[in-house]
């Protein structure tokens, strides 16, 4: 793919009701530019390699956002909340394609998906950073509540009506 060619996932950026900092984080994530420890290692920086979310596997972007048990638990709950019974793919390439399939187009459903996707990516990355740098952690439950709350607020002001069926527990 040439430098000039627009990546196919840019459709996820349009009509996305997520907060700017959230979809900006998604943009960096999709470009594979978030500084995970595998990338630090390539620059010769040695840091703790274990993922702080599951404390089990080595941290890579693919792991943190897609394969990590913490991330999968979060995505499962968020998708379930939107009424989608779909499995999150396990590899980066499939994940990106899957995001495009569900986020493409102007339907309210696609917009909701994109918003929750960006806020979910942002939530995971912020949680990872707060565990690494501040040694503070939130539970999956807290993150689900925060992300669903912000999604309701953002989508209800952006897309009038049609959010009343969200049942937040």
Residues in contact with Zn ion by CB under 5 A are 51, 53-54, 68
Residue linked to tokens 């996707």: 117
Min dist. Cβ of residue 38 to Zn ion (A): 13
Q: How far is the CB of 36 from Zn ion (least distance, A)?
A: 11
Secondary structure class of 58 (helix, strand, coil):
strand
- Two tokens, residue 130: 């707060």
Residues near 92 by beta carbon (within 8 Å), at least 6 away in sequence = 32, 61, 62, 66
Residue 166 Cβ, how far from Zn ion at the closest point, in Å? 28
Sequence-distant (6+) residues with CB within 8 A of 73 are 140
Nearest approach, Cβ of 52 to Zn ion (angstroms)?
A: 8
CB-based contacts of 138: which residues, under 8 Å, 6+ apart?
127, 130, 146
d(CA 67, CA 75): 11
- For Zn ion, give the closer residue by CB, 68 or 116: 68
């Amino acid at each position: 793919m040439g430098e000039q060619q627009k990546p196919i996932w840019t459709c996820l950026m349009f009509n996305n009701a997520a907060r700017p900092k959230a979809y900006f984080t998604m943009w960096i994530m999709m470009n594979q530019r978030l500084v995970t420890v595998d990338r630090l290692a390539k620059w010769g920086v040695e840091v703790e390699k274990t993922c702080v979310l599951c404390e089990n596997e080595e941290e890579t972007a693919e792991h943190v956002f897609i394969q990590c048990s913490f991330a999968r638990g979060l995505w499962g709950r968020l998708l379930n909340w939107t009424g989608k019974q779909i499995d999150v793919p396990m590899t980066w390439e499939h994940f990106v394609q899957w995001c495009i399939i569900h986020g493409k187009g102007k339907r309210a459903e696609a917009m909701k998906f994109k918003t929750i996707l960006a806020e979910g990516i942002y939530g995971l990355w912020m949680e990872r950073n707060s565990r690494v740098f501040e040694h503070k952690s939130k539970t999956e439950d807290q993150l689900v509540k925060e992300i669903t709350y912000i999604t309701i607020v953002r989508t209800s002001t952006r897309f009038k009506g049609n959010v009343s069926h969200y049942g937040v527990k």
